[in-house]
Amino acid sequence: MTDQISLRKDRIFLMGFMGSGKSTIGPILANTIGYDFLDIDRAIETRTKKSVTEIFREDGEQYFRSVERDIISQIIAHPRLVVSLGGGTVTDPELFRVIASSGILVYLKVTPEQLYRRLHRKTDRPLLADIEGNRLGEPELRDRIQTLYTSREPIYSKADIVVMTDDTRVGITVDQIVKLLSRHLR
Ligand code: S3P
């Protein structure tokens, strides 16, 4: 752990596309700067006692988003906290506003090509599956990633800090974020 840092906003939110590394980088960053850590998807799973895939299948995306909003509202004042958001958390403009006003937004940026490479074997992302929950074929998956990427990139790009993470080792990315956070010290 580095020396304790004191930031102008007391929370750090990691955002970015599915597969951008939010859940991997979040706990390491939190440990490095001595903050608590929360992964939104895991918190939703703990609360509902279901996997993300089961929630989408059995209760639908709207219900998933309502639990997501509820958890954000509960943790939004937690001091010294790193949060790994879900890829879609910030697509609700009101939720984006709440998150942006209470924390520093860090966008882990990855190209669609790299996302395809990271995601094409995964089965735990309902938004990247067909309606029966089966994995998409290569052209369909590339298309789906590109469509979501195009609609979300403008939102992610509003982040306070943007780091490219395509071929970067996790430790290097964490170091980059910690350095860039120094611009946000109190
Ligand atoms: C989603 C991303 C997922 C999860 C859910 C919806 C999205 O989280 O919240 O499957 O809308 O992009 P990760 O970004 O952690 O994969």
Q: What is the pLDDT along the chain (186 residues), one digit of tens a residue?
A: 555 678 788 899 999 999 999 999 999 999 999 999 999 999 999 999 999 999 999 999 999 999 999 999 999 989 999 999 999 999 999 999 999 999 999 999 999 999 999 999 998 999 999 988 889 999 999 999 999 999 999 999 999 999 999 888 999 999 999 999 988 877
| Nearest atom within ligand 1 for CA of residue 53 | 10
Gap from CA of 146 to ligand 1 centroid (Å)? 15
Query: Domains of the chain by range and CATH?
Result: 2-182 (3.40.50.300)
Q: Tell me: the pLDDT tens digits for 144-167? A: 999 999 999 999 999 999 999 988
Contact 81, 7 (CB under 8 A): no
Q: Which residues are near ligand 1 (CB < 6 Å)?
A: 18, 22-23, 41, 52, 86-88, 125-127
Beta bridge partners of 105: 13
Structure tokens at 4: 């304790």
| Nearest atom within ligand 1 for CA of residue 23 | 15
Gap from CA of 3 to ligand 1 centroid (Å)? 32
Ligand 1 mutation target, pool 14, 18, 55, most atoms within 8 A of CB: 18
Q: Give the Cα separation of 36 and 26 in Å (integer).
A: 10
Residue whose CA is at the smallest distance from ligand 1 atom 3 = 86
Q: Which residues contact 7 (CB under 8 A, 6 or more apart)?
A: 104, 181, 184, 185, 186
Q: Could you write out the DSSP letters of every residue in the chain?
A: --S---BSSSEEEEE-STTSSHHHHHHHHHHHHT-EEEEHHHHHHHHHTS-HHHHHHHT-HHHHHHHHHHHHHHHTT-SSEEEE--TTGGGSHHHHHHHHHHSEEEEEE--HHHHHHHHTT----GGGB-TTSPBPPHHHHHHHHHHHHHHHHHHHTT-SEEEE-SS--HHHHHHHHHHHHGGGB-
Gap from CA of 175 to ligand 1 centroid (Å)? 25
